[in-house]
Chains A and B, each alone.
Chain A
């Protein structure tokens, strides 16, 4: 068991290291000149040659790639990710404040989409071929083709513009000082983005659970239970749900990547100040330090989700726990 945990953790760390290298390389090859981007166009034009050379030395333009990477990594491990140009604050600080907003959004969407998808999947699988099954399947089929950001736009049009039920964007009311923001305000601003993310996230888990439910219902043990006189739901509850829930939970943890990707788009649509929106601002504004920080951060969240999925599989499934299948 301990070996299983350690092996997974080491694998995750190695991958994370590789991701950091990949991210740093991608950010470095960008055609944006750090000197020009940092001092601004006007100041750059009016600057003397010596000053430019001095600045380019300061920003490490001439330093070889590997040296820059190692120094960035060593300070990153110590918690210093550099300074964000756009927000004029340390990257770690920007990420910390933004991550709180994003995590609230993602956790709510993750829980809702998981629970709803599971229930819909079981219901569809148990009613295979009937109307309910067709509706659920049609819904999942359709949602797989719907772009997240467009769904967000439609929700904005319907619920905010036409009906006026929810605010138009942001995470707190405009013109209210931070101390006066109540929990209800925060929740009201959270509902629409979280709803968008959940509605899209349901499809994957529901379809998977449906397949699994059908498999379980066709198994010998359920057939025997039914022969003993248990109703469909009794048989499902006593013998099916555990077997169905296990892969569903794993899948839900492994789908953190999709929810995170979706949250970037949703945050942009709803002007919700989270990590995703900061990443877009950083990318459009040439803020390399912040972009790299957020990318590594999001990869860490995804890998953590995958790690939990792996470990959970190992802990929950008795076959793997006892080392029969590994």
Chain B
């Protein structure tokens, strides 16, 4: 199916996935409807650039986590001689009311948040895989049950459900992790279910079945390779959500305890100092959080472009 002059629209399941790096047409189109495009230049370089962006994003994230673990002791070091300092060359992010360096605190906090987010999102994706596959393969009853469960979990707003679960588990690390893990699977489970169903109806699966291949073999050789890329991309795009919700629930006071370095703690503590004009306590850590989340997003959408057969030609 080649459409050389009409740009294909990819309407994926997850948003902000498609062509973020739209190559500009070499000549401006005279028509007001951009139906006709000049042929794309440098197709191969595009793919290489995507791969490079993916690797760079992953490396940056690993660097943040490793650096955060390394400085976790220095981040809690107090120095009352240097408290409430505005950002300067010595303390790029300023210092707080206990003289702790905000840059170190932010990095340590990000590292904690990323690790909690990774753990929770991974567990969540496993739940999604199991339930999604069960819905698609287990017959009508199982499908109805899983769909109903998805509706149920999606019916309660994420934050409210997180507060409830955290309340039930007595707050703290496990409250957040379990909470994020059991609330984030529905959208990915839907994707997995749809993908497996689509694959099940494909001609090659039907042929394999007629040829007498066992169900397990079909699942391993045909269905799994078809679903896995989508699952992997879905997993990576789950990380930013998990991290944002971890930060949010910690910010509300239900997550990690105040002595742990966490971005939510830093931001909720900063609230008390905003009216005193100490803007750097909130602005820089928040920007850093946005940066980390964006990096995960970039990594996820690059990976999607690389592994998704529908968009790998773009």
- Whether the Cβ atoms of B170 and A149 lie closer than 8 Å is no
Subset of 21 A-B contacts with CB under 8 Å: A26-B168, A27-B167, A129-B22, A137-B16, A147-B289, A147-B290, A149-B251, A149-B267, A153-B271, A153-B286, A161-B275, A161-B279, A203-B15, A215-B11, A226-B33, A264-B163, A265-B159, A279-B160, A283-B254, A291-B164, A295-B163
- Whether the Cβ atoms of B16 and A30 lie closer than 8 Å is no
- Whether the Cβ atoms of B164 and A27 lie closer than 8 Å is yes
Chain B contacts of A31 at CB under 8 A?
170
- Whether the Cβ atoms of B170 and A30 lie closer than 8 Å is yes
Chain A contacts of B155 at CB under 8 A?
15-16, 19, 257, 299, 302-303, 306
A197 within 8 A of B: no
Q: Using known A-B contacts A215-B9, A232-B32, A303-B155, determine if residue A26 contacts B286 with beta carbons closer than 8 Å.
A: no
- Whether the Cβ atoms of B16 and A144 lie closer than 8 Å is yes
Q: CB-defined interface of A238-275 with B at 8 Å, one 1/0 digit per residue?
A: 00000000000000000001101110110011000000
- Whether the Cβ atoms of B152 and A22 lie closer than 8 Å is yes
CB-nearest residue of chain A relative to B156? Answer: A299
Chain A contacts of B9 at CB under 8 A?
211, 214-215, 218
- Whether the Cβ atoms of B252 and A264 lie closer than 8 Å is yes
A154 within 8 A of B: yes
Q: CB-defined interface of A136-151 with B at 8 Å, one 1/0 digit per residue?
A: 0100111011111110
A31 to B244, CA, bound (A): 27
- Whether the Cβ atoms of B167 and A298 lie closer than 8 Å is no
CB proximity of B36 to chain A, nearest CB, Å: 12
CB proximity of B65 to chain A, nearest CB, Å: 18
Within 8 A of A (CB), among B280-314: 282-283, 286, 289-290, 293-294, 297
> DSSP majority for the B interface?
helix
A280 within 8 A of B: yes
CB-nearest residue of chain B relative to A156? Answer: B274
Neighbour of B152 across the interface among A15, A128, A298, CB < 8 A: A15
- Whether the Cβ atoms of B152 and A153 lie closer than 8 Å is no
B166 within 8 A of A: yes
Which residues on A are within 8 Å of B, measured CB to CB? 15-16, 18-19, 22-23, 26-27, 29-32, 128-129, 134, 137, 140-142, 144-150, 153-154, 156-157, 161-162, 168, 203-204, 207-208, 211, 214-215, 217-218, 223, 226, 231-232, 257-258, 260-262, 264-265, 268-269, 276, 279-280, 283-284, 291, 294-295, 298-299, 302-303, 306
A283 to B154, CA, bound (A): 21
CB proximity of B309 to chain A, nearest CB, Å: 20
A31 to B6, CA, bound (A): 61
Q: CB-defined interface of B215-256 with A at 8 Å, one 1/0 digit per residue?
A: 000000000000000000000000010001001100111100
Chain B contacts of A26 at CB under 8 A?
164-165, 167-168
- Whether the Cβ atoms of A144 and B154 lie closer than 8 Å is no
Chain A contacts of B34 at CB under 8 A?
128-129
Q: Using known A-B contacts A214-B9, A215-B9, A284-B254, determine if residue A27 contacts B168 with beta carbons closer than 8 Å.
A: yes
Neighbour of A295 across the interface among B160, B270, B277, B290, CB < 8 A: B160
- Whether the Cβ atoms of A144 and B15 lie closer than 8 Å is yes
Taking A203-B16, A258-B157 as given, write out 17 further A-B residue pairs in contact, using a Cβ cutoff of 8 Å, ordered by the A residue number: A15-B155, A23-B164, A26-B167, A27-B168, A129-B25, A144-B297, A153-B267, A153-B274, A153-B282, A161-B279, A162-B279, A211-B18, A265-B251, A283-B167, A283-B254, A298-B156, A298-B160
CB proximity of A145 to chain B, nearest CB, Å: 4
CB proximity of A109 to chain B, nearest CB, Å: 14
- Whether the Cβ atoms of A218 and B274 lie closer than 8 Å is no
A147 to B151, CA, bound (A): 25
Chain B contacts of A295 at CB under 8 A?
156, 160-161, 163-164
Chain A contacts of B274 at CB under 8 A?
153, 156-157, 161
A109 to B170, CA, bound (A): 33
Neighbour of A154 across the interface among B151, B157, B286, CB < 8 A: B286
B45 within 8 A of A: no
CB-nearest residue of chain B relative to A23? Answer: B164
Q: Using known A-B contacts A145-B290, A150-B282, determine if residue A140 contacts B167 with beta carbons closer than 8 Å.
A: no
Within 8 A of A (CB), among B1-33: 6, 9, 11, 15-16, 18, 20, 22, 24-25, 32-33
B89 within 8 A of A: no
CB-nearest residue of chain B relative to A305? Answer: B155
A295 to B251, CA, bound (A): 19
Closest 3 CB pairs of A and B: A150-B286, A261-B157, A145-B293
Neighbour of B163 across the interface among A207, A291, A306, CB < 8 A: A291
A142 to B253, CA, bound (A): 26
Neighbour of A141 across the interface among B158, B159, B270, B297, CB < 8 A: B297
Q: Using known A-B contacts A260-B160, A291-B163, determine if residue A208 contacts B15 with beta carbons closer than 8 Å.
A: yes
- Whether the Cβ atoms of A298 and B267 lie closer than 8 Å is no
- Whether the Cβ atoms of A150 and B163 lie closer than 8 Å is no
Chain A contacts of B20 at CB under 8 A?
137, 141
